[in-house]
Amino acid sequence: MADRYLSFTGTAPGRFLTRRLGLPQPAELRRWSSASDEFEGGVLLLTAGKSQLSGLEFASPVGAPAGVLLDATGVRDVEDLAEVHAALHPVVRTVAASGRVVVLGSPLSSVDHHQAAAQQALEGFTRSLGKEIGRGRTVNLVRLTDASAAESTLRFLLSPKSAYVSGQVIEVGAPVQDTEVDWSLPLAGRTALVTGGARGIGAAVAETLARDGARVVVLDVPGAAADAERLAERLGGRALTLDVTAADAGERIAEAVPEGLDVLVHNAGITRDRRLVNMPAERWSSVLDVNLASVLRTTDALLEAGALRRGGRIVATASIAGLAGNAGQTNYGASKAGVVGLVRSLAPRALSGHGVTVNAVAPGFIETRMTAAVPLFIREAGRRMNSLAQGGLPIDVAETTSWLAHPASGAVNGQVVRVCGQSLLGA
C-alpha cells in the first residue's frame, strides 16, 4: 500500500503544512539500483583521539560529502570525546540528503574502565545523532580492531543498500580468512537456500542473493509451490517444497542440495496474534514451532550433516518485537527473542567448529501485504515511529541479509542487526 503521507510531504504544500504543525517530515530514501549503485560525493574521513587503525582509504569528497567516516577507535577518556564533537559539529549539516555517518569505535576494555566508558559513550552519541540528523541520513557505529576485516561492512553502511539501517552498533572481529571478492557479484559460485522464500520478504531476499550471483533454492510450504516454482525459474534457481516444522526437514534439505549450502537464510515465519489471556495453546505452539523450533532443528541437522560448507553463512530473521515486545504478540515476541538467543550462543561455536558465521536481521515496520492489512492508525504509527519516519521495504531486509551472507563478511558474527529505520521501540 502506498505511503500517501510520505508522498504528500514531498510537495511544497506538504512541506509547509507539516513544518508549521510540527509533524514528521520523512525524506524519500535513496536505495540501490543498477543505474545508481553508489553515492556520488565521496567520503570525508575524520579522526578523534589517536587512531588505532591503518589502511583506511576513500575518495575525498567533492562538494557535499555523501558520507562521513569518523575514526574514534583511539578515544580512551572523556577528554577524547571532545574531539568527537569537534570533528562532527562543523560537518553534520553538510552531509548530502540520504547520506551516511559511520563512527568507528573499539571493543570495550575489561581492564580500563575509562576506555570502556568513553567507547560506550559513542553508542549513546551515535544513536542520538541518528534521531536528529534528518533528511534520510543514517548514523551507525562499528566496533572493530582491524580495518582489514571491515571492508564489506563499510561498503554496505556507506552505500544506498543500507537505506533503512540506522542507529545500529555492529561488532566486527578479526579477519577470518583472506577472500578474493568480485564486489559486483560477491556470491558467485555459492548456493543459498531461503526458507519462506516464495513471497514477501523471502522473495526479496532470494532475488537479491541471485542478483549478487548466488544459485538460489526457494523453499516454501506445499501450498506455495506454484509461487516458489515461478520465482525459482525466473531467478535461474530451483524450488523445494516442504514443511520446515517436519522432524526430518533438515535431512530432506541436505538430500535435496547434495552439493552443500554456502548460505542458509531462515526467513519462514508466521503470526497468530492475540493477547495472552485470550490465546489458546495452539496459537502459541504453532508460532513457536515455525519461528523458533524449526530453525533450531534444521540448523542442528544441517551442521551435523556437514551440509553447510566452511565459509558458510547462516542468517536468521528475528524482529524488533523480540527485542522490545509488542502487545498481542507474546508468542511471536518469544519466538523472535529465541532466535536472538540462538544466534548469540551458536555463533562462536559454529565459527570455530564449522567455519560458519551466524547472524540475524531484525526487521521493524516493513511495507508488506501483512502490514497493509493493519488498521490505519496503527499502521501510520508503525511507519512514523522511527528516525526516518517511514516504513521500510522488503529490499531493505534483503540487502542486509546479502551483506551478512557475503564471503568477505566472515568477521561479522553473532550480530543482530535491526532493519527498522532506528525504531523508537526497544534499544
Q: What is the C-alpha separation between 224 and 98, in angstroms, rounded?
A: 37
Query: Looking at the domain assignment, is residue 152 inside a domain?
Result: yes
Of 172, 200, 218, which closes a domain? Answer: 172
Is residue 154 domain-shared with residue 217, that is, in the same domain?
no
Q: Please state the separation of Cα 210 from the chain's center in Å.
A: 18
| Whole-number pLDDT of residue 25 | 87
Measured between alpha carbons, how far is 427 from 418 in angstroms, rounded to an integer? 10
Active-site residue, selected from the candidate residues 125, 156, 164, 332: 332
Same domain, yes or no: 229 and 357: yes
Q: Give the chain's domain count.
A: 2
Distance CA 205, CA 194 (A): 7
Distance CA 174, CA 147 (A): 9
Same domain, 145 and 290: no
Q: What is the DSSP secondary structure assignment for residue 214, as one 8-state letter? A: -
**Cα angle 109, 337, 405; round to 5:** 70
The chain-wide mean pLDDT, for the chain, equals 94
Among residues 172, 201, 228, the one where a domain terminates is 172
State whether 218 and 346 are in the same domain.
yes
The CATH number of whichever domain residue 242 belongs to comes to: 3.40.50.720
Of all helices (H) and strands (E), which one includes residue 344? helix 330-354
For residue 171, count other CB atoms closer than 10 A to its CB: 17
Per the CB < 8 A criterion, the answer to whether 257 and 194 are in contact is no
- Asked if residue 12 is part of any domain, the answer here is no
Residues 196 and 237 in one domain: yes
- 269 within domain boundaries: yes
On whether residue 305 sits in a domain, the answer given is yes
pLDDT tens string 74-112? 999 999 999 999 999 999 999 999 999 999 999 999 999
Say how far apart CA 246 and CA 195 lie, in whole Å.
13
139 and 265 both lie in a single domain: no
Residues of the chain with pLDDT under 70: 55, 59, 177-179, 426-427
Q: Do 130 and 243 fall into the same domain?
A: no
Domain membership of residue 302 as a residue range: 191-419
Tell whether 341 is covered by a domain: yes
Residues 133 and 220 in one domain: no
* Domain membership flag for residue 25: no
Same domain, 286 and 213: yes
Q: Which of 398, 415, 393, 38 is CA-nearest to residue 187?
A: 398
Q: What percent of the chain has pLDDT over 70?
A: 98
pLDDT in tens, 351-385: 999 999 999 999 999 998 877 777 777 888 889 99
Q: What is the dihedral of CA 387, 78, 171, 175, to 10 degrees?
A: 140
| 166 and 200 housed in the same domain | no
Is the domain of 67 the same as that of 208?
no
User: Within a domain: residue 400?
Assistant: yes
Q: What confidence score (pLDDT) does residue 339 get?
A: 98
Q: Rg of the chain over CA atoms, in angstroms?
A: 21
Residues 6+ apart with CB under 8 A from 194: 202, 205, 206, 209, 216, 217, 218, 219, 265, 267
Does residue 160 share a domain with residue 197?
no
Active site residue 332: yes
Cell 517436519 maps to which residue?
A: 246
Would residue 19 count as lying in a domain?
no
Task: Give me the pLDDT at residue 130, please.
Answer: 97
pLDDT score for 427: 52
Q: Which amino acid is at 376?
A: L
Q: Which residues, listed in sequence order, are joined to residue 138 by a DSSP beta bridge?
A: 100
